[in-house]
Amino acid sequence: MTTVPLRAIAHARAGDKGNISSIGVFVTDPRHYPAVKAQLTPERLKTAFPALLQGPVRRYSIDHLCALNFVMEQALEGGVNESLNLDSHGKSWSFLLLALPIELEEG
């Protein structure tokens, strides 16, 4: 097994509406998609970012695109208009997710 940051094998796009963030993760090589799908779960995100994810996290699989979409409620400290955070936009979430390590089988 080898461990790589998610950003080495995927890219992400994020958006926000109010206090909800939506992140699409797109795996660039279909061979890596099963490993990412198995490891990048709502439970893992809640464990990795417990202080930031205050609400439910839902994951939608888009297998034919080798993509996962995460919808995270109460994930933006109230949203752009309510938060005192300088960057509470959902776009920050894509950088956080892409830093997570993913284990891949070598070969």
**In this predicted model, what pLDDT tens digit does every residue of 36-93 receive, in sequence order?**
999 999 999 999 989 888 899 999 999 999 999 999 886 665 555 554 454 545 567 7
Q: What is the dihedral of CA 59, 64, 67, 70, to 10 degrees?
A: -20
Nearest in space to 61 (alpha carbons), one of 95, 24, 29:
24
Q: How many CB atoms lie within 10 A of CB 52?
A: 17
Q: Look at residues 104, 89, 80, 86 and name the one whose alpha carbon lies nearest to residue 8.
A: 104
3-class secondary-structure state, position 16: strand
pTM: 0.84
- pLDDT value for 86: 47
> CA nearest 30: which of 67, 59, 5, 61?
67
Whether 79 contacts 88, CB under 8 Å: yes
pLDDT of residue 107: 63
